Amino acid sequence: MKIFTFTVYTKPMNKMLQQAFDPEEFRKEGHKLVDLLTTYLTDCFSSQTMPVLPPSVPDELFAFWTADLKKPDFNLQEFYTTLLSQSNHIHHPGYIGHQVVPPAPISALTEMLEAMLNNGMAIFEMGPAATAIEKVVIGWLSKHIGFGAEADGILTSGGSAGNLTALLAARQAMSNFNIWEEGNDSNQPFALMVSAEAHYSVSRAARIMGWGEKGFVKVPVNDRMQLDASKLEETLIDAQNSGIKVIALVGNACSTSTGTYDPLDQMADFAARHNLWFHIDGAHGGAAVMTEKYTHLTKGIDRADSVVIDFHKMMLTPALTTAVIFRNGNHSFETFAQKAEYLLSQTQKPWYDGAIRTLECTKKMLGVKVYAMIRQYGDDLFREYITYAYDLGLSFAKFIEEQPDFELAVKPDCNIVCFRYCPKDFSGDLNTLNASIRINILKDARFYVVQTQVNGKTFLRVTLMNPFTTLADLTLLTEAIRDDYAQIL
C-alpha cells in the first residue's frame, strides 16, 4: 500500500507572497490611495485647472509604459499618481464627452470591497450574499419600471451584453422551436425591427445570432431622430414580402447619438397587435423612470417584454453594471438553455444560479455597489441626479438656440446635446470647421467633447454626466469655441 505524506505550512514559504498579502502594507497603501483620490475629487469639484483629457498620442503612451516596465525601481503611489495624471478626469465639470458617469464615492469604495472578496456568481455558493442582493436590486428597479411581481432579470457586464441577452431570450421565445439546441432554420430567416438610430449593439446582436445584415430591419426616423411610428406598418410588410420573419421590435430610450426617445407607447401598441417581442434599449435613458419630471419620456416602458438599463450611465455606478429585466421573469431562463452538468441542473431553474441566465460564468458582484447607494441615500440620490442632468441638457439647448452663431441639431429630451458653430461670416465647409474646432478643444484640454453625424452634418456632442457641471461652464465652452475661430481667422 502506497503511503502519501503531506507537509503543512503555517506561512507561505515565498517571501514575496507574504509581502503581497501583508495586511499592514494594505492598510498603509490603501490610506495613501484614499488620500490621493480625496485630493483629486476636491480639485475636480472646485474646478481646479487641469487637462480634462490629457493630450496624448497612443504610440507615445505605449512607449512610456513599455519603458516604465523595464525600470528597476517601482513606487506604488507614484504609479497611482501617474495613472491619474494620464487618464480622463470624469469627475471634472469640464468632462462633457461620452456617456460615462462620475461614480459616487460610496460605489467606488464598495467596489474595492467587492474586488477583495472576489466572489464569482456562477452559482449561489460562489457568491451567496451578492446573489441575494442582486435579486433585491432587480426587484427594486422592476417596480420603478412598472413591472409586476412576476418580473425578474439579471445584472450583466454592459449594455451590449444586456441587449444580446434580452434578444437571445426573444429569439428562443418567439421562434416556435428550440433554436438554441437546433440552430437557425435557413428556410425561416428571423429579424428585428429597429430604429435607424438604434445603438450598434442591437445590429451586432442580430449578426451574432447568425442573422446577418438582413437580421435588422431599419425603421425610418423623423426630424427629431425618433423612430417614425407611421412607418412601422409598411416596414413590417416590406420585410414579410422579402421572406423575413420579424420577431421583435426594439425601441430607444434614448438614442445614443442625439438623446431623443422613441414613441415607446405607440411601439408597444404595434408590437402587441403583431405579436412581436418588444425590447427597450434603455441603457442611457431608461433610468428616467426614477424621476417625476422626466418619467413621461418612458411612457410605455412597462409594456415591454424586456428592458436594459445601465447603472453605469445615469445611476452613478462604476462600469460595467447593466440590468436586463423581463416583464415575465420566466423568459430570463430562456436565453441560455444549455447543459453544464458540473454547474447547472437542467431539471430545475433556480433563480439563484446566475450562470443559467447570463453570458458570464464567473461574474463580478455587480449589485452590491448599487445596493449600498440605495441603502445610504435612497431613491432621492438617483432622482436628483437624473433630474439635474436632464435639466442642464435642456437649459444648454435653449442657450444654444438663443445664440445667432450656433445651431442645434435637434431639441434634446435629456442630457445629450448636439450643436455646431455657424459663424455668419464663414463661407467654408461647416463640417470641416466643427471637426477642427473639436480637435482644438482637445488640445486646449479644458473641456472634453465628442462629435457625431446628424443627417450628414458634423455636430459637436456633449453628454452632461457630471452633477458639478453648470450652465456657466457650458457658456465658457461656447466662448472658447468663438475664441478658437477668431484665432483661425
Least confident of 185-194, 244-253, 459-468: 185-194
**Segment 95-125, tens digit of pLDDT:** 999 999 999 999 999 999 999 999 988 888 8
Q: C-alpha distances in angstroms, 276 versus 110, 119, 208, 247?
A: 40, 38, 20, 5
Average pLDDT score over residue span 421-438: 94
pLDDT of 489 reads 67
In contact, 81 and 35? CB cutoff 8 Å? no
Q: Is the pLDDT of residue 150 over 90?
A: yes
* pLDDT of res. 3: 65
Mean pLDDT, the chain, rounded, equals 92
The arithmetic mean of pLDDT across residues 123-140, rounded, is 93
Tell me: pLDDT of 144 over 60. yes
Q: In what order do the strands lie in the sheet with 406-408?
A: 406-408, 416-421, 457-463, 450-454
Tens digit of pLDDT for each residue in 480-489? 999 988 876 6
Q: Specify the amino acid at residue 144.
A: H
Domain range list for the chain: 15-46+54-87, 112-377, 392-488
Contact 307, 340 (CB under 8 A): no
Tell me: pLDDT of 373 over 50: yes
Please give the grid coordinates belonging to residue 221. 426616423
The pLDDT of residue 343 is above 50: no
Please tell me the distance from the alpha carbon of residue 159 to that of residue 313, in angstroms, as a whole number: 10
Which residues share a beta bridge with 156?
Answer: 322
Residue 320 preceded by cis peptide, ω within 30: yes
In the beta sheet, which residues pair with residue 46? Answer: none
pLDDT at 342 over 60: no
Q: What residues form DSSP beta bridges with 460?
A: 419, 451
Segment 234-243, tens digit of pLDDT: 999 999 999 9
Between CA 132 and CA 84 the distance in angstroms is 35
CATH architecture assigned to 392-488: Alpha-Beta Complex (3.90)
Choice between 344 and 200, residue whose per-residue pLDDT is larger: 200
* Angle, helices 264-273/232-241, rounded to nearest 10 degrees: 40
Between 103 and 356, where is the model more confident? Answer: 103
Q: Do the domains 392-488 and 112-377 match in fold?
A: no
pLDDT at residue 339 is higher than 50: no
Instruction: Give the residue-averaged pLDDT of 45-61.
Output: 93
Residue 425: band (very low, low, confident or very high) from pLDDT cuts 50, 70, 90: confident
Count of all residues that appear for the chain in the document: 489
**Own/partner long-range contacts of 448-451 (Cβ < 8 Å, ≥24 apart):** 448/52, 448/53, 448/88, 448/94, 448/95, 448/96, 448/97, 449/96, 449/97, 449/477, 450/97, 450/98
Question: 348: pLDDT confidence band, cut at 50, 70 and 90?
Answer: low
Class of domain 112-377 (CATH, top level) = alpha beta
Please give the pLDDT value at position 179.
79
**Residues 441-455 pLDDT 10s:** 999 999 999 999 999
The pLDDT value recorded for residue 183 is 81
Contact (Cβ atoms closer than 8 angstroms) between residue 192 and residue 271 = no
Residue with more model confidence, 181 or 257 = 257
Q: What is the CA radius of gyration of the chain?
A: 25
Please tell me the distance from the alpha carbon of residue 404 to that of residue 396, in angstroms, as a whole number: 14
Distance CA 248, CA 271 (A): 8
Residue 372: which of 134, 23, 142 has the closest Cα? 134
C-alpha–C-alpha distance, residues 324 and 25, integer Å: 40
Mean pLDDT to the nearest integer, 131-144:
97
How far is Cα 131 from Cα 120, in angstroms, rounded to an integer? 10
Tell me the pLDDT tens digit for each residue of 176-228: 777 777 888 777 899 999 999 998 899 999 999 999 999 999 999 999 999 99
* Higher pLDDT, residue 119 or 345: 119
Of 1-5, 172-176, 223-227, 293-297, least confident by mean pLDDT is: 1-5
Please give the pLDDT value at position 375. 98
pLDDT over 80 (residue 84): yes
Q: Which among 263, 256, 159 is positioned nearest to 198, based on CA atoms?
A: 256
Does residue 340 surpass a pLDDT of 50?
Answer: no
Q: What does the H/E/C string look like for the chain?
A: CCCCCCCCCCCCCCHHHHHHCCHHHHHHHHHHHHHHHHHHHHHHHCCCCCCCCCCCCHHHHHHHHHHHHCCCCCCHHHHHHHHHHHCCCCCCCCECCCCCCCCCHHHHHHHHHHHHHCCCCCCHHHCHHHHHHHHHHHHHHHHHHCCCCCCEEEEECCHHHHHHHHHHHHHHHHCCCCHHHHCCCCCCCEEEEEECCCCHHHHHHHHHCCCCHHHEEEECECCCCCECHHHHHHHHHHHHHCCCEEEEEEEECCCCCCCCCCCHHHHHHHHHHCCCEEEEECCCCHHHHHCCCCHHHHCCHHHCCEEEEEHHHHCCCCCCCEEEEECCHHHHHCCCCCCCCCCCCCCCCCCCCHHHCCCCCCCCCHHHHHHHHHHHHCHHHHHHHHHHHHHHHHHHHHHHHHCCCEEECCCCCCCEEEEEECCCCCCCCHHHHHHHHHHHHHHHCCCECEEEEECCEEEEEEECCCCCCCHHHHHHHHHHHHHHHHHHC
Range in 39-48, 56-65, 170-179 the model is least confident about: 170-179
pLDDT for residue 90: 96
